[in-house]
Amino acid sequence: MNSLFWERAHGGLTHFPIALIFVATLFDILSLLRDRSAKGRDFRGIGYWLLILAALGAVAAVFSGLGLSKWKVMGTGLMRLHHLFVWPAFGLILALTAWRVVARNEFSRRAFTSYLITASCACALIGAAGFVGGEMLLGETSSTASAGVMTSTSNAPVSPVMLGDATQGRHLFLMNCAHCHGDDASGDEGPDLHNVHKSDARIHQIVTGGIKGEMPSFAKKLNDADVGALIAYLRTLKS
């Protein structure tokens, strides 16, 4: 499965658990406020089932996210920051679900208050992870816009395929190259990649073959389509 598949899968699967955990927590808060009424018990039951659905959705979202990041648990740059919020949130959702199931959704008022505090922390972490994910997406959108400007100023027709490749290439760059070349490709341990004058074939050769003592080979991690997308992204980088 290529990176485009995982990108679409992750984009489609991520929003459901986020919405479900927030709504589940809202119903649980309402159930605490109406604790002694039949409606309060109904609200708690709704929160219980929404939480279970959120946990199942979170497993699918995390799996697709790992596929998108080439099975890297942390990554670098914005990807690392995103994962620093995702993993604690994921762990809390699973722990909260296990707590509810083991307790059979029966809590003392004090225990349920503690549960709600923990659930609120999970919501905060998920919100932060979503914000960082949005920042990554905005960065990709900006890269796509740059590709469009570059193409239009050269009086060449804009290719939707090329723009799509550049967007995907931004993903691949953040996951595989940013730790050496910097999130903005301005250079760190590796050189600045703006205004690269090497041919596409030479870039492909460097990425897949590496440079002895300087850069590892990515032949086992990136297929030809991935390398092509990465090259398309590099062509958008103009200082």
Q: Could you tell me if 123 and 157 lie in one domain?
A: no
Token duo for residue 140: 């990709």
Q: Are residues 108 and 165 in the same domain?
A: no
Q: Per residue in 182-218, pLDDT tens? A: 888 888 888 889 988 888 888 999 999 988 888 889 9
pLDDT tens digits, residue range 63-113?
998 887 778 888 777 778 889 999 999 999 999 999 999 998 888 899 999
Q: How many domains does the chain have?
A: 2
Tell me how far apart the alpha carbons of residues 82 and 133 are, in angstroms, rounded to a whole number.
6
Is the residue at 211 inside a domain? yes
25 lies in which domain range? 3-136
Whether 82 is covered by a domain: the verdict is yes
Spell out a b/e string for 63-83, using b for 16 or more CB atoms within 10 Å of the CB, else e: ebbebbbbebeebbbbbbbbb
